[in-house]
Amino acid sequence: MKDILKNGVVLMLYAMVAAAVLGFVYVSTKDAIKNADLSAKFQAMKAVLTDYETGKLMVDEKLIKDKLMNSGEEKVVERTYEGVNGKVILPYYEFNVNGKKIFVLVGAAPGFGGDVKVMASFVKENGKIFLHSIRVLDASQETPGLGAKIMEEGPQKRFSGIPQSGLEKGVVVDKDAKDRSVKNKSNGVVKTSDIMTGATITPRAVANSINIMYSYLKEAVLGGEK
Amino acid sequence: MKENENMAWYTFKKGITSENPTYVQALGMCPTLAVTTAAINGLGMGLAVTVVLTLSNIIVSLIRKAVPKDIRIPIFITVIATFVTMIDLLMHAYTYDLWKSLGIFIPLIVVNCIILGRAEAFASKNPVHYAALDGLGMGIGFTLSLFLLGSIREILGNGSWMGIHLWNFKMFMFILPPGAFITLGFLAAFFNYLKIKKEEAAKAKAKAAKQAQAQKA
Amino acid sequence: MMELVLIIISAMFVNNFVFSRFLGICPYLGVSKKMDSAVGMGMAVIFVMTVSAAIAWFLDKLLINLGLEFLRTIVFILVIAAFVQFIELFIKKNNPNLYDSLGIYLPLITTNCAILGLVVLNSMLKLNFLGAVFHALGASTGFAMALIIFAAIRERLDLYDIPKPFQDLSIALVTAGLLSMAFMGFQGMVK
């Protein structure tokens, strides 16, 4: 009995020292970690706000930074689109440039091993919305070499510039297209089968998360205005 | 003095060659197989393990006399987990991309059997400088193994090395899970073959020497 | 309900811990030489993993509420170690027969990365309580299954004439690779 007590006390002492050391490291790296997370998000945002045709930034860099800095805590909203359970991760960001409205949203849908997290920019111009471009933020649960290839630029570019007609029909990857003869973005079909050989589930998750973000944008953000 | 130096050199060297954690002792297999889809990931994981292993070996060796025998394993694990969490925080802060690609395998360094194995088998019985050398040697041996495996898998499976594009010939299988097992299996066989050859050569030499002696007599 | 069944099937076959997530490889290679020990280890893992997942779920919530997420790894591993030690003592006292067959595998489980891996995964995937427990059940059953299949193959391998450099570790890894290839056939089964 005495032994157990002694061992318990010794173990507790060690645990306390460990916790103290860790607390110290945590406090001293806290800001750097926050910066690293923010800068990752900033890079992604810069990417989706870069015009995919001209390669120029559509929004002032400083403005992006300001919005990011003052965006507050993240909040997750669960959302379903045609039987797929996904998420929209708030806050969303809104930019007004030359009469255009640009919305940046983050959404997620289940992929192969877990959620695939996608950031997307939607542009509203002359009363019409289109998907500008996307950036996959997290696909770490996907199979390396297969689904995880979605992290590369090539596959992500395939999702750039989907017009409203395509978004209304719902974005699908070419393998899931009901009408195999239609392979264009105005019908919501995105070709990925050639660039992501052997992986359908991950790009499908990206398509789903786009649909979820679009439906959220339509209902919750633009709900009132016409 | 000479002997001491030899001993130190041997303590350091054995982790890289004769007691290589991956190919000889088959320890720490999970990260070995999982993160080696690219050479750079193997290198990053290896270095993270080397740091944790060396530091935990030093601390375990320093406190070895203040550890009651019955609860030594929980204490060693506490020490290791502390360092792993520190590395996790530091990598998150300063090497974000690498941190992201190693994912769940950073917290899992805690249960990497190499680290607890060296703490228990070596550091808890030896003075600090040997413990540090042992940790460093084992860590470097582990890093080299991971780097080799990662390079082979990246070159064959993705046609690139360290992110540099080499050619368009790709065999997906090597990046996928089965490729990890099979490549490691063949590498283990190769190192085993070298070992067997060396032993045979040594045996032949000893035999020749014996015969020569017998002839002399 | 359907969701829970899917979690189990996906953890057992599609994302099998050994073949696709690479967790628990050490015991997988180490304890698979004999059928009896594979069965014993498999059962021990199923039990420990499921209960640990339940305990860890509550602890995770507690740590998040306290803002101490960075202590996650250290708390989880200590709880698993303490829990394993506790069961060992308990079984030893109350059921010596069970202890004889399972006892030696229990200490090995502490350093089985599958257990800590599952707990960390649960926390990363933000599963709810039932989801976490069912995930553990599926994953551990999948692990036990992989272990038992592998042990059966290895018992046969002993009878064959394998080139010397390939014996033991090497052929075991290549066999595991082939099994893993077979398990890739389950991909896409769960959407």
DSSP H helices in chain A: 2-48, 61-69, 153-157, 164-169, 201-216
Name the nearest CA neighbour of B175 among B6, B35, B53, B2.
Answer: B35
- Per the CB < 8 Å rule, is A14 touching B158? no
Give the sheet arrangement for strand A115-125, strand by strand.
A75-81, A84-97, A100-110, A115-125, A128-138
DSSP C23-77: -SHHHHHHS-SSHHHHHHHHHHHHHHHHHHHHHHHHHHHHHHHHT-GGGHHHHHH
Q: C interface mutation test: which of B20, B36, B181 has the most C CBs within 10 A?
A: B181
Answer left, alpha or beta for residue A106, where phi above 0 means left and psi between -120 and 50 means alpha. beta
- Which residues are bridge partners to A102 per DSSP? A95, A123
The chains in contact with chain C, meaning 3 or more Cβ pairs closer than 8 Å, are: A, B
Q: Find all residues with CB under 8 Å of B90, minimum gap 6, and list them.
A: A25, A29
Residues of B in contact with A197 (CB under 8 A): 172
How far apart (Å, rounded) are the C-alpha atoms in residues C71 and A22?
Answer: 8
Tokens representing residue C191 in the block: 């959407």
- pLDDT-derived band at C88 (thresholds 50, 70, 90) equals confident
Question: Is the pLDDT at C165 greater than 50, yes or no?
Answer: yes
The chains in contact with chain A, meaning 3 or more Cβ pairs closer than 8 Å, are: B, C
Return the axis-axis angle of helices A2-48 and C72-94, rounded to nearest 10°: 140
| CB-closest option in A19, A112, A201 to C71 | A19
> What is the pLDDT averaged over residues B132-152?
89
A201 has a chain C CB within 8 A of its CB: yes
Dihedral of CA atoms C41, C44, C50, C52 in degrees, nearest 10, equals -110
Question: Which pLDDT score, from 0 to 100, does residue A187 have?
Answer: 76
How far apart (Å, rounded) are the C-alpha atoms in residues C118 and C135?
Answer: 8
Question: Which pLDDT score, from 0 to 100, does residue A182 have?
Answer: 61
pLDDT tens for each residue of B153-177? 888 887 778 777 778 777 777 878 8
Highest-pLDDT range among A9-18, A46-55, C136-145, C176-185: C136-145
- Per the CB < 8 Å rule, is A26 touching C70? yes
Q: What is the chain B residue with the closest CA to A196?
A: B172
How far apart (Å, rounded) are the C-alpha atoms in residues A142 and C15?
Answer: 10
> What is the pLDDT averaged over residues B68-92?
84
- Per the CB < 8 Å rule, is C73 touching B85? yes
Name the nearest CA neighbour of B138 among B111, B120, B114.
Answer: B114
ipTM: 0.81
Name the nearest CA neighbour of C71 among A15, B102, B60, B48.
Answer: A15
Q: What is the chain C residue with the closest CA to A26?
A: C70
- Per the CB < 8 Å rule, is A145 touching B157? yes
Q: Find all residues with CB under 8 Å of A43, minimum gap 6, and list them.
A: none
B178 has a chain A CB within 8 A of its CB: no
- pLDDT-derived band at C104 (thresholds 50, 70, 90) equals low
> In angstroms, how far is CA A226 from the centroid of its own chain?
26
> Is residue A136 within 8 Å of A116, Cβ to Cβ?
yes
> What is the pLDDT averaged over residues C70-94?
82
> Is residue B108 within 8 Å of B75, Cβ to Cβ?
no
A109 SS3 class: strand
| CA-angle at A180, arms to A179 and A182, nearest 5° | 75
Q: What is the chain A residue with the closest CA to B95?
A: A36
Give the count of Cβ contacts less than 8 A between chain B and C.
127
By DSSP bridging, strand A172-173 and strand A189-190 are parallel
Average pLDDT score over chain B: 83
Quick one: which H or E segment has residue A118?
Answer: strand A115-125
> What is the pLDDT averaged over residues B127-135?
87
By DSSP bridging, strand A100-110 and strand A84-97 are antiparallel
Question: Which pLDDT score, from 0 to 100, does residue C101 have?
Answer: 67
C67 has a chain A CB within 8 A of its CB: no
Q: What is the pTM of this model?
A: 0.79
Residues of B in contact with A6 (CB under 8 A): 68
- Domain ranges in chain B are 2-216
Q: Find all residues with CB under 8 Å of A46, minimum gap 6, and list them.
A: A57, A61, A64
How far apart (Å, rounded) are the C-alpha atoms in residues B214 and B203?
Answer: 16
C70 has a chain A CB within 8 A of its CB: yes
- Per the CB < 8 Å rule, is C188 touching A200? yes
Average pLDDT score over chain C: 82
> What is the pLDDT averaged over residues C109-126?
80
How far apart (Å, rounded) are the C-alpha atoms in residues B45 and B36?
Answer: 9
- Per the CB < 8 Å rule, is A201 touching C191? yes
- Per the CB < 8 Å rule, is B75 touching A14? yes
> Is residue B105 within 8 Å of B31, Cβ to Cβ?
yes
Q: How far is B96 from chain A (nearest CA, A)?
A: 6
What residue type is B29 in one-letter code? M
Name the nearest CA neighbour of A202 among C188, B49, B211.
Answer: C188
Residues of B in contact with C73 (CB under 8 A): 81, 84-85, 88, 107, 110
**Residue A175 main-chain phi, psi, to 5 deg:** -65, -30
Residues of B in contact with C171 (CB under 8 A): 185
Instruction: With a cut of 70, list the residues of chain A below it in pLDDT.
Output: 1, 113, 143-145, 178-183, 198, 224-226
> What is the pLDDT averaged over residues B61-85?
83
A113 has a chain C CB within 8 A of its CB: yes
Name the nearest CA neighbour of A167 among A220, A122, A223.
Answer: A122
B160 has a chain A CB within 8 A of its CB: no
Question: Which pLDDT score, from 0 to 100, does residue A181 have?
Answer: 62
Question: Which pLDDT score, from 0 to 100, does residue C141 have?
Answer: 92
Q: What is the chain A residue with the closest CA to C78?
A: A15
**Residue A82 main-chain phi, psi, to 5 deg:** 45, 50
Name the nearest CA neighbour of B118 among B137, B107, B134, B133.
Answer: B134
Tokens representing residue A7 in the block: 């061992």
- Per the CB < 8 Å rule, is B178 touching C184? yes
Tokens representing residue C39 in the block: 């069965």
Name the nearest CA neighbour of A130 among A87, A101, A97.
Answer: A101
Report CA-CA distances (Å) from B13 to A54, B43, B99, B140, C139.
Answer: 56, 19, 29, 9, 39
Question: Which pLDDT score, from 0 to 100, does residue C103 have?
Answer: 63
- Domain ranges in chain C are 2-184
Find tokens 């394998």 and name the residue.
C162
- Per the CB < 8 Å rule, is A114 touching C20? no
